[in-house]
Amino acid sequence: MVHLTDPIGDLLTRIRNAQAAGRTQCSAPWSHLKEDLARLLKREGWIADAQVTGEDPKRVITIVFEKGHPSLELKRVSKPGRRVYSSVKSLKPVLRGFGHAILTTSQGLMTDQEARKKKMGGEVLCTIA
């Protein structure tokens, strides 16, 4: 079994690679954080669906892409070797508001827009455009 040092980076890379290969979906090993991230992407309209299948310890999360939607531009911001935290004052809009930054806060995962409304900062996991 392979142990990853950056499971979120692995998920983002799987999504980028699947979209570059013209696939309609991709799958990755499941975790609570990945499921929350996929649920947030679905809620914001970046992906069509996210499904968790299998039994513990071999659960898998499958991400289904929107048909006709351009490829997502995903960038990992906070990495295991260099964590990036941002206060609410230093949160800047991504692509002048057309993209999102995903933050992990004390109240769970949220977009930069939600964090600004709730006046919360946190670790910036990635940006999506």
Instruction: Tell the CATH topology of 7-64.
Output: Ribosomal Protein S8; Chain: A, domain 1 (3.30.1370)
Distance CA 6, CA 23 (A): 23
Q: How confident is the model at residue 69 (pLDDT cuts 50, 70, 90)?
A: confident
- What CATH number belongs to 74-128? 3.30.1490.10
Mean pLDDT for 22-48 is 95
- State the virtual CA torsion across 111, 71, 62, 35 in degrees, nearest 10: -10
Query: What pLDDT, in 10s, does the model give residues 85-127?
Result: 999 999 888 888 789 999 999 999 999 999 999 999 999 999 9
Whose structure tokens read 């999506």? 128
Distance CA 64, CA 90 (A): 33
Q: What pLDDT is attached to residue 57? A: 87
Distance CA 37, CA 83 (A): 18
Q: Give the domain ranges of the chain.
A: 7-64, 74-128
Domains 7-64 and 74-128 share a fold: no
Q: What pLDDT is attached to residue 70? A: 85
Q: Which helix (H) or strand (E) holds 127?
A: strand 122-128
Per-chain mean pLDDT for the chain:
93
Query: What pLDDT, in 10s, does the model give residues 72-82?
Result: 899 999 999 99
Distance CA 88, CA 35 (A): 25
pTM of the model: 0.92
What angle in degrees, to the nearest 10, is found between the helix axes of 7-20 and 32-43? 50
